[in-house]
Structure 1
Amino acid sequence: MALKDLLPVFFGVAMTIALSAVARAETISLVGFGDSLMAGYQLAPDDAFPARLEQALREKGFDVTIANAGVSGDTTAGGLARIDWSVPDGTKGVILELGANDALRGIAPEETRKNLDAMVARLKQRGIAVLLAGMLAPPNMGGDYAARFNPIYPDLAKKYDLALYPFFLDGVATEAGLKLEDGMHPNSDGIGLMVERFLPTAEQFIAAVQKGE
């Protein structure tokens, strides 16, 4: 075969390699969707959980952006009402963190479950991966409430085959020194610990997103 006949083949292979490299280099766009715990209540924007997690992931070599779609005071009903327009097209994955305000207000866990289920279903329909950040009912709500509320997150993770971080405030909830004066929201040090503990789950989630799982 003459050299001129091989040129189209070489050109095609080169284009395939180039396009593959571009695809691998594409920045992964994530959204942190939640309430004040995600929004960074009373913290500087750079200290909010999405910004700190993005920084930690970039230091690990991940090319990611994490938009902050946290709204202080939001319940799962509020999240459901805004999920479609708060998560833009092109988003590859969502860290879904809602439910704390439902528990604080004593909203029926069955309603919380229904709202979270609907949000996950909508995101999945759009081809957007979900990392579910779990929550636990406050002790003052009693054992019956906790028995109905706490299983919501592992149940949904199993139903939809989601990545799950069992308790978003792990390591912070009972430590006064890691919270603001209100005794509820994490301070900067608290966010740092949350990111540290959340990071391995986030890395696994992003790796799965990159593979298209």
Structure 2
Amino acid sequence: MKRQSPTRSNSSGYTGAYGALRNKCNRWLAAIAVSILAVFPAMAEETVILALGDSLTQGFGLPEEEGFVPQMQAWLRNEGAEVRIINGGVSGDTSAGGLARTAWSLTPEVEAVIVNLGANDMLRGVDPADTRANIDGILTTIDEKGLPVLITTVPSAGNFGAYYKKSFDAVFPELAEQYGALLYPNFFAALGGENLSDARQWMQGDGIHPNAEGVGKIVEAMGPAVLDLIDLAAD
């Protein structure tokens, strides 16, 4: 019996069952390629932010998912931002502690920084000149990396007198202007500013740290400033 050669089409290769299978495989591979191309640009566009701070950043007294960093990251993503925030908050940290760890915290993946330090300096009565020198050192290190920065802190409560308050409160806006940094002047602005005694429903029992609902209000108020930071990182 004479053996028949497989029939070929003129344009798309083999016909019959083999051709259908090959076409199906090609479509499958094409779909995978499209999926890969869709995923990798999104990964490349992700902005990595270091949140360098104290217990307010770290999320003291709260479940991990209810702290400042997870709530801010969720808020930003809900606004359409591709972002990942590194929690660089250390409870009890002063501006001196923040300065000591700034250089090694700025890993190559970091593209922008939130600096939230100074609250513990104020509570301990640290000389505002020392706080200024430490924040200046932090901003210098960040500036050498060419990274945009958002500065925030809490105003002095006035426990150490009017001169201390004036000197302390001047540190952050003046340094923000000097370094061309974004400024969110009061971390607690959404809870009533300096008079936190009227914000007890949004504070933990210590009267110092916000509860989960309080963090949510802070995040909603500060979020637009962080979106501006992300825009600067993309430039």
Query: What is the TM-score with the length of structure 1 in the denominator?
Result: 0.86
- Tell whether the 8 Å contact from 1:94 to 1:129 is kept in structure 2 after alignment: yes
Shift of 1:89: 1.5
Query: 1:98 maps to which residue?
Result: 117
Aligned residues: 192
For residues 145-183 of structure 1, the C-alpha deviation after alignment (integer angstroms, 9 at most, x for no partner) is: 101000111101100000110101113251111111001
Shift of 1:108: 0.1
2:231 pairs with one of 203, 207, 212: 207
Tell me whether 1:122 sits opposite 2:141 in the alignment: yes
Query: 2:161 maps to which residue?
Result: 142
SS of 1:67's partner is strand
Identical residues among aligned pairs (%): 37
Shift of 1:90: 1.8
For residues 105-133 of structure 1, the C-alpha deviation after alignment (integer angstroms, 9 at most, x for no partner) is: 00000000000000000011012221111
Task: Write out the 4+ residue segments of structure 1 that deviate beyond 3 Å after TM superposition.
Answer: 21-25
Amino acid at match of 1:190: G
- Tell whether the 8 Å contact from 1:41 to 1:72 is kept in structure 2 after alignment: yes
CA RMSD of aligned residues (A): 1.6
What is the alpha-carbon distance in structure 2 between the residues aligned to residue 194 and residue 66 of structure 1?
A: 16
Shift of 1:139: 2.6
- Tell whether the 8 Å contact from 1:35 to 1:72 is kept in structure 2 after alignment: yes
Q: Give ranges in structure 2 of 5+ residues lacking alignment.
A: 1-36
Query: 1:34 maps to which residue?
Result: 53
What is the alpha-carbon distance in structure 2 between the residues aligned to residue 87 and residue 53 of structure 1?
A: 20
Bigger radius of gyration among the two: 2
Q: Give ranges in structure 1 of 5+ residues lacking alignment.
A: 1-17
Amino acid at match of 2:216: G
1:54–1:23 distance in 2 versus 1, CA, 3 Å: closer
Query: What is the TM-score with the length of structure 2 in the denominator?
Result: 0.78
